[in-house]
Amino acid sequence: MAQSIKPPIFDAIDLEREIAEEFRKLPPQEREPQPTDFAPPSVRAPDLAMPDYVEHRDGVPEIGKLSAEAVVREYEAAAKDIEALGVDLVEHVKKCEAMTRDALLVIEELKETAAQYRDEAKRVFLQIENCSLLTAEVRKTCAEMKERIATPATVELTPQEINSETRKKSTVRKLPVAPESQPQP
């Protein structure tokens, strides 16, 4: 019988593995960037170390161990994310405290400004009232002066002055009045 001689067939999986291994040996500058270079940490292979708070028990099958490890890693990743949120929250609280301090300073400035406005209002109020009082006094004085000017002056005489006045009148001659100024009967 004749045996056929076949050339060795390359296993495609082995070939891909060898190419990938050679490719990984190249420095990053000499090769093209790969999607795994930019992938976020949660997409990359998980950290192989298990958290300190768990350990495998004896007799657990390998598939159970792997499943338990995968679940505990996910829980641990979530716990670390929660802790990171706490750090972020502390930063936000610090910002809020700073804003509160600033707001309290602004409130104090507003109180000072309001007090200054009240003082100014009091000053203007008093000035207006003083002007009003002065105006009223000027009006009163003007009214009194007008009354004095409008009424004829009357002089009160003492009895001695009356006697001396009557003597003067009796000695005073009456002058004839012009016909135009005499009253008509």
Give the pLDDT score at 185. Answer: 47
- Residue 165's pLDDT is 64
Reading the chain (185 residues) residue by residue, the pLDDT tens digits are: 555 555 555 566 777 777 777 777 777 666 666 656 555 555 555 556 788 888 888 998 989 989 999 999 999 999 999 999 999 999 999 999 999 999 999 999 999 999 999 999 999 999 999 999 999 999 999 999 999 888 876 667 677 777 776 666 555 455 455 555 455 54
Q: Is 23 exposed, middle or buried (0-12, 13-18, 19+ CB in 10 A)?
A: exposed
Question: What's the pLDDT score for residue 41?
Answer: 53
> 27-60 burial, b if ≥16 CB within 10 A, otherwise e?
eeeeeeeeeeeeeeeeeeeeeeeeeeeeeeeeee
Contact in structure between 74 and 51 (CB atoms under 8 Å): no
Q: What is the pLDDT of residue 25?
A: 77
pTM of the predicted model as reported, rounded to 2 decimal places: 0.38
The per-residue b/e assignment along 111-130, b for 16 or more CB within 10 angstroms, e otherwise, is eeeeeeeeeeeeeeeeeeee
pLDDT of residue 121: 97
pLDDT for 47 equals 55
* Structure-block tokens of residue 54: 């768990």
